[in-house]
Amino acid sequence: MLDTIILLTGTVEQPVLGAILLSHNPALRIVAVATPAEVMALEPQLLRRARLIAFCTDVVVPLRVLDQLAFGAYNFHPGSPAFPGWGCAFFAIHQRARQFGATAHLMAEKVDAGPIVGVEFFDVPPGAGVPTLEELAYAFLAQMFRRLAPQLVHSRPLAPLPIRWSGEKCTRRRYAALCAASSPPAPERLVS
């Protein structure tokens, strides 16, 4: 039986999201973690009674931890299924996306590749930049968390939706390459 939720998120979100989960199942134990070291320190006996929920974090949960979780792991990703990976708001702006959103999915060995269990879409406002898109995605992510919380606190897995990840994975390497390509060339060095 599920008796523990491991909440992987920032220290600001931990008490708020924990309270939402407890409002739907007060008998749960919430274990808050925020860093890769804290994830790696989770004991196997805890994992066998737990579900992990990651919310808006770039911490990658290793397969050895995912495999030990008796009730699975879900990630709340601040981007739509067309933008898996890191820094997706930047890539959406760069690609002039007309729609963006937030995605919840079952965690798998590969980042942002597991079955999708929740999605919220919104139109990209005209003239929006990365900060605006990130704020909107975060707001929709919080709304989806509240909507899915009653299901997350019980043993049964969330049902996958008929929506698939698409688009090229957004990575730090792609981001650096795009930034380098759009930067003006360095001035030539003068030789005297």
The tens place of each residue's pLDDT in the chain, 192 residues long, gives: 899 999 999 999 999 999 999 999 999 999 999 999 999 999 999 999 999 999 999 999 999 999 999 999 999 999 999 999 888 999 999 899 999 999 999 999 999 999 999 999 999 999 999 999 999 999 999 999 999 999 999 999 999 999 999 987 776 687 677 777 765 554 455 544
Pair 119, 80: CB distance under 8 Å = yes
Phi-psi region of 85 (alpha: psi -120 to 50; beta: other; left: phi over 0): left
State the distance between the two ends of the chain, measured CA to CA, in whole angstroms. 76
CATH code linked to domain 4-182: 3.40.50.170
What is the Cα–Cα distance from 8 to 11, expressed in whole angstroms?
9
Q: State the pTM of this model.
A: 0.90
Q: List the 4-8 sheet strands across, edge first.
A: 29-33, 4-8, 50-55, 73-77, 99-106, 116-123
* CB contact set of 1 (below 8 Å; sequence gap of 6+): 49, 155
CB 123 within 8 A of CB 99: yes
